[in-house]
């Protein structure tokens, strides 16, 4: 995407978030024509966010389950960047007034402990590079988006709506994650549940997807997803595709 247009779109996103403006498609205003265009805008938007929210420390991979993809009308995952001051340890207090419409998504987060080989394309070949797994909650601000006419390119440009993550303690050993059942409750009442296999067949397959994702195209090696100390998260429990409001 042309640099000036991408930067103008990123600056508009920053202003809209600060003013609590409802989410709208960027296409008519800035000409986002493709997913690569959307990641061009996302890169510049994240640059603007760094002043307040710190350096990138990892990625979110969203829409990894069939339920969430159907809900948003697409057939592939999307990625966003997690910034240092948006990483919270559980238990955490999150202020609603810092978001236009805040929702929660229940996740599995993984910590990458070593470089991921270029040949790693499956959960089994990714697993030796993982040194920690934990339950997490993604903070998602959809700014009151109309899901009936959702423009995925605009969603991706808006850092895939990532507003931060809350993580628990990382475990260094874990069971067969594809068979793990996760349940979300509120005050003892069930909200939703899902299996690890709902995430592209296995949560680690999201790491494999991220290595080849459009958001990695053209980035220098030190910024790619196969570096040490990167944390990333993926969709885990969904309540039939609904975001759960905070």
Residue 64 has φ and ψ, to the nearest 5°, of -95, -15
pLDDT (mean) for 233-237: 54
Mean pLDDT of the chain: 87
Residue 68: pLDDT band with limits 50, 70, 90:
confident
The pLDDT tens digits for 192-217 are 999 999 999 999 999 999 988 877 65
Residue 69: pLDDT band with limits 50, 70, 90:
confident
What's residue 208's pLDDT? 92
Which 3 state secondary structure label does DSSP give 237? coil
Residue 17: pLDDT band with limits 50, 70, 90:
very high
The pLDDT tens digits for 116-144 are 998 999 999 999 999 999 999 999 999 99
| Of residues 43 and 238, more confidently modeled | 43
| Of residues 241 and 28, more confidently modeled | 28
What's residue 82's pLDDT? 97
The domains found in the chain, sorted by start residue, are 3-245 (3.90.850.10)
Determine how β-strand 162-167 pairs with β-strand 87-89. Answer: parallel
Q: Which of 83, 79, 40, 88 is nearest to 58 (CA)?
A: 83
Which residue has tokens 């969904």?
A: 238
């Amino acid at each position: 995407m042309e640099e000036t247009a991408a930067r103008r779109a990123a600056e508009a996103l920053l202003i809209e978030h600060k003013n609590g403006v409802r989410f709208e498609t960027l296409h008519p205003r800035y000409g986002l024509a493709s997913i690569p265009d959307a990641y061009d805008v996302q890169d510049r938007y994240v640059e603007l966010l760094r002043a307040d929210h710190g350096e990138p420390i990892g990625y979110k991979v969203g829409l990894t389950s069939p339920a969430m993809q159907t809900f948003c009308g697409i057939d592939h995952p999307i990625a966003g960047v997690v910034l240092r001051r948006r990483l919270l340890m559980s238990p955490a207090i999150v202020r609603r007034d810092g978001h236009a419409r805040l929702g929660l998504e229940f996740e599995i987060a993984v910590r990458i402990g070593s470089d991921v080989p270029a040949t790693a394309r499956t959960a089994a070949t990714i697993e030796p590079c993982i040194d920690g797994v934990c339950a997490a909650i993604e903070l998602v601000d959809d700014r009151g988006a109309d899901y009936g006419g959702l423009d995925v390119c605009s969603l991706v440009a808006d850092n895939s709506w990532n507003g931060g993550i809350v993580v628990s303690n990382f475990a260094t050993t874990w069971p067969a994650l594809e068979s793990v059942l996760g349940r979300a409750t509120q005050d003892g009442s069930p909200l939703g549940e899902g299996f690890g296999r709902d995430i592209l067949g296995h949560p680690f397959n999201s790491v494999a997807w991220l290595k080849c994702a459009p958001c990695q195209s053209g980035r220098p090696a030190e910024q790619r997803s196969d570096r040490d100390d990167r944390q990333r998260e993926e969709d885990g429990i969904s309540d039939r595709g609904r975001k759960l409001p905070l």
